[in-house]
Amino acid sequence: MYPDLEGKVAIVTGAGRRKGLGEAIARKLAADGVRLLIHDLGRTQGALAPEHGIGAVDELEAVAEDLRAIHPDIATFAADMRVEEEVKALVAHAVERFGRLDILINNAGVGYLFGPLVDATQEMWDTVLNVNLRGAFFATKYAVRQMLTQPVQEGWGRGRIVSIGSRGSKSGSALTSSYIASKHGLVGLTRSAAIELGPEQITVNAVCPNHVTTGLGAWQNEYMAKARGQSVEEYLAAMRSRIPLGRTGTPDDTASACAFLCSGQAQFITGEAMNVSGGEEMH
C-alpha cells in the first residue's frame, strides 16, 4: 500500500503477543516491506507484569516466525522499557542488525493495573508511568540520536516516531488514573518532540484508539464489566452505543493509521494525536 516504506527499518515495542496491537502494527509494516525489530519484556514479573499483560520470549519468537512468512527480515529483542540501558541496547541492536533505523513505534504499555485511586500503590503508579511514558521517552531519545546520523530521504524525511496513545489520552475514566495520566503525558511528549525535531525532518505523532479487544482487551472487558455490575456483552453493547460507527476498534484499525503516518503521504503531518475511535472521540 505504501511502496516508499520498502526497505525501511522499524522498531515496534510491545509486539510480542499474538493478536495484540503491536503484532498488528508489525504485520502491517512487514507487508509494506519494512525490516523489523519487534520487542517485548520477555518475562513475567509477578502481579506487576503478569502473563496476560506481557509477551514472553517464546511468544515473541513465535510472533516473529509468523511475520517472517510476510517478510524475512524480522529480528527480536527483549528489554524492560523502564531501564534506560536496556532501551539503549534495544536501539543499538536494531542498528547492528539492519545498519540504520527509520521508524520507531512506541507501543509497549501497561493497561492492566486498574482499580480505585484510593487503593492504588506507589509501585502500581510507578510501573504504569515508567513503562508507558518513561519507556517511550527513552526509546525516542535513542532512536532520534540514530536518525540524526542519517541523511534526509527525499520525499520522506529523516525519521518517523509514532506513539500509541489511547482515547484515554484525551478523556478521563474511572479506575484507570495512572493509565490515563500516562497516556495524556504521551501526547505532551509527542507535541513537544514534534516541535523540537521538525527542523530535522523527523515527524512525531500519536495514534489514539478507543477500546480494542485484544487478548489484554478481553481481560479489560471482564474487569470493567464486573466493576460496573454488568455482563461483558452488556458492557460492550453500552460501548458500541457511544460509537457513531457502531463497533469497537480492531488491531488493524490502529495498524493502518500507523502505516499511513510512517509513509511519505504523511510527510507534512507532525505533532498530531490522531483519533482512531469510530467517532467516539472527536478532539
Mean pLDDT across the chain: 94
The dihedral through the CA atoms of 266, 217, 110, 178 has a sign that is: positive
pLDDT tens digits for 113-127? 999 999 999 999 999
HSE-CB for 60 with a 13 A CA cutoff? 25
Supply angle C-alpha 91, 93, 97, rounded to 5.
125
HSE-CB at 263 with a 13 A cutoff on CA atoms is 16
- CA 113 – CA 167 distance, rounded (Å): 17
Nearest-CA neighbor of 204 among 247, 164, 172, 244? 164
- pLDDT of residue 215 exceeding 80, the answer is no
* Grid cell listed for 11: 522498531
Residue range 66-82: mean pLDDT, rounded: 97
Give pLDDT tens digits for 126-148: 999 999 999 999 999 999 999 99
More confident call, 46 vs 227: 227
Q: Which of 2, 112, 179, 235 is catalytic?
A: 179
| Cell 509494506 -> residue | 32
| Choice between 223 and 150, residue whose per-residue pLDDT is larger | 150
Q: Which residues contact 222 (CB under 8 A, 6 or more apart)?
A: 232
Query: Residues 132, 110: contact at Cβ < 8 Å?
Result: yes
Distance of CA 62 to the CA centre of its chain: 19
Looking at the chain, how many residues does it have?
Answer: 283
Query: Roughly how many angstroms between the first and final C-alpha of the chain, as a whole number?
Result: 28
Instruction: Identify the DSSP state of 249.
Output: B
Give residue 1's pLDDT: 87
> Looking at 75-79, 119-123, 216-220, 272-276, which range is the least confident one?
216-220
Burial level of 237, CB count in 10 A (0-12/13-18/19+)?
exposed
Cell of 65: 516466525
Query: From residue 108, how far is each of 5, 123, 133, 264 by CA, in Å?
Result: 22, 18, 10, 25
Burial status of residue 147 (CB atoms within 10 A of its CB: 0-12, 13-18, 19 or more): buried
Integer-rounded Cα Rg, in Å, for the chain is 18
In the annotation, is 223 catalytic?
no
Band of the pLDDT at 262, cuts 50, 70, 90? very high
pLDDT at 53 over 70: no
For cell 521508524, the residue is 103
Strands (DSSP E) found in the chain: 9-12, 35-40, 74-78, 103-106, 159-164, 202-209, 273-276
Domains of the chain in start order, with CATH, are: 3-212+250-272 (3.40.50.720)
Residue position matching grid coordinates 504521551: 186
For the cut 80, the answer to whether the pLDDT of residue 55 exceeds it is no
What number is the average pLDDT over the span 160-165? 98
Average confidence (pLDDT) over 44-64 = 76
